[in-house]
Amino acid sequence: MIEAERIQEHAKVIGADGIPVGTVDRVVDGRIKLTKRDSGEGSHEGHHHFIPLSLVAYADGDTVRLSSNGSVSVSYEQEENGSSAH
C-alpha cells in the first residue's frame, strides 16, 4: 500500500483506464477522501466519498492513479459512515 504522505490535496484521482474518479480532499484513516463536488448525483450528492489506499497504484505530484478502472473504483467508494456506496 502507498504511503499516505505521497498523496497531495487537490490531486486528480484517475482510474487505471484513464477515467477521472475525483479530486483528493485529504487522506483520512487509510482512505482518500474525495471532494464533495465529486460526490455524484441523487442520494450520493453533497457528501464526501472515500477510496481505500489499497486501490492506489501510485501517486505522482498532482495525480493519483488507481489499480482498478474508474468505473470499478467508484463502486468501492465508501461514505463517511463506512458503508459502501453502490
Q: Is the pLDDT of residue 65 over 60?
A: yes
pTM for this structure? 0.78
Strands 63-66 and 12-14: parallel
- The per-residue pLDDT for range 5-56, each reduced to its tens digit, is 999 999 999 999 999 989 999 999 999 988 877 655 444 555 678 889 999 9
For residue 41, give the C-alpha cell.
Answer: 448525483
- 19 lies in which domain range? 4-73
Residue 78 included in any domain: no
Question: Is residue 82, in this structure, part of any structural domain at all?
Answer: no
- Please tell me the predicted confidence (pLDDT) of residue 48: 72
Task: Output the domain CATH number for residue 49.
Answer: 2.30.30.240
Among 2, 10, 70, CA closest to 40: 70
In a domain, 21, yes or no: yes
Say how many domains are in the chain: 1
Q: Is residue 49 part of a domain?
A: yes
Assigned domain for 85 exists: no
